[in-house]
Amino acid sequence: MKVWLNGALVPAGEARIDPADRGFTLGDGLFETIRVADGRPCHLDRHLARLAGGAAELGIPLPMEAPEIAAGIASVLAETGLSEAAVRLTLTRGPAPRGLLPPDTPRPTLLATAAPASPSPAPARAVIARSTCRNELSPLSRLKSLNYLDGILARREAADRGADDALILNTRGRLAEATVGNVFAVIDGVLVTPPVGEGALPGIARGLVIERLSAAERPVTVEELMNATAIAVTNSLGVRPLATLEGRPLESRTAASELARMIGFA
């Protein structure tokens, strides 16, 4: 198995990340997870645009242009022979001396790896996280950063409570997102999702659902969630409906199938 590291294909066992890399020491970086179907990375232009936007906001220079990155991803897929896969693209600020202040001339690390696609998961049993919340006032809530500790804490809590996933609230006690995706709920017959200002990551699949299904963006309260008829979580790898929320049954199949069809995942 080979990976694409800083512009070159190298055996995975020989790929070396500097121990002083700020992505490792400080979580100073971004990533994209890209679905591959029939050998083609889905919505690659949107992923690369989001990566470039996040890098600009963090002040991390992209070491190469989008066509070169796309070619690197293609080389990894060709090497692995995978036609149904998930590609992980990771960008860090690169190695630097100790301290928080970034170096004046960073040497970014850019890595692409590919893994076989996972089977579609069963509808999830979900809870509302109590152990953590999303800070909708932080610019990091809009970036797909390497720091996923809020999601990890919420997912651990879900497991401890016998659930598969957790919905994370913001500091105002309203819905932000799930641990690894955006949330869409059918409330009073209308498909709604929290706006980015509520702490929702501007997900690729999220944008497609809003565009293609005219989903409404507005704040969502816990009371509304508990009265929703259907809830689904979207990310770039697919759509997962909720079977239950806090033990309350939800309609699961129809909503997820329609979302998946409109995004192009079905």
* Contact assessment for residue 256 and residue 231, using Cβ atoms and an 8 Å cutoff: no
* Rounded Cα distance, 264 and 17, in Å: 35
3-state secondary structure of 59: coil
Per residue in 194-220, is it b (16+ CB within 10 Å) or e — as a string?
bbbebbbbbbbbbbbbbeeeebeeeeb
Comparing CA positions, the residue from 214, 183, 180, 213 lying closest to residue 198 is 183
Name the catalytic one among 93, 134, 142, 144. Answer: 144
| 2 has catalytic annotation | no
What are phi and psi for residue 182, nearest 5 degrees?
A: -85, 160
Q: What is the DSSP letter of 6?
A: T
3-state secondary structure of 259: helix
Give the CA distances from residue 21 to residues 97, 110, 137, 241, in Å, rounded to whole numbers and listed in that order. Answer: 9, 11, 28, 38
* Rounded Cα distance, 123 and 117, in Å: 18
Contacts of 176 (CB under 8 A, 6+ apart): 133, 134, 136, 141, 168, 169, 170, 194, 198, 199, 200
Give the β-pairing of 190-193 and 182-187.
antiparallel
Task: Write out the catalytic residue numbers.
Answer: 144
